[in-house]
Amino acid sequence: MAAWLAHRINNPLGAISGNSQLLARRLQQDIGDPEALKSYLRHIEAIQSQIERCAGITSEALSFTRPREPELRKLDVRDVVAEAVELVQYARPDSRITLAADDKRRLPSVKADREWLARTVFELLSNAVEASCGGPVSVEVERVGSHRGRARVRVRVIDSGPGIPANVLPRVFDPFFSTREKARGLGLTLSLEMMQRMGGSLIVEKSDRSGSVFTIEIPVWK
């Protein structure tokens, strides 16, 4: 049903997007008043923004219903995490993220899908920056003891926000659940699924008035 709805919704979205772009070009040709033109184009930008939001919802719905198989490879976790930090800082220049990682000689390579791992860390960092409202966010990367006979690497994302309310905490990984108006409610759901399908884990380690800690663990490469 989700796949069918995504397909049926994406077609009219494409038509709306195309027509709004044509309208913007036509207005630029026909409107001589710069202030009036600016006002019209601002409304068209708002339309495009909501189109992109809807397209993102259908894309995530498809990812949720038709997940691909993970491409498990030997990865350096520090590189992937550093890349995610850089992307978040680019998207949110006001973010204050610090990265602390074990020495490279102590930190083993992991067995994971690079895109999935990067997406998960990016999602956790984005949420942490949002929750911190300009406050500090830290990321810790370390080797931890074996789980079921296999060593793992742990990534902890620590925010300085107000914490997650007790009545919300049990639902943070539920699909389509979010307390933020513009959020789609699939980010953490997909992140949890991706980590589990790679043989890893994702949990809320702590959440109180001093902030929240989301933790992922990834098996090392043998």
Could you tell me the CA-to-CA distances from 86 to 57, 80, 108 in Å, in that order? Answer: 24, 10, 22
Tell me the pLDDT band of 1, cut-offs 50, 70 and 90: low
Res 200: pLDDT: 92
* pLDDT at position 183 over 60: no
* pLDDT at position 159 over 90: yes
Enumerate the domain spans of the chain. 2-65, 73-219
Res 121: pLDDT: 94
| Stated pTM of the model | 0.70
How confident is the prediction for the chain on average, in pLDDT?
A: 84
Phi, psi for residue 93 in degrees, rounded to 5: -60, -20
Give, in words, the CATH class of 73-219. Answer: alpha beta
Amino acid at 52: E
What tokens were used for 163? Answer: 């914490």
What are the tens digits of pLDDT across the range 66-120? 667 888 999 999 999 998 998 888 888 888 999 988 776 778 899 999 988 998 9
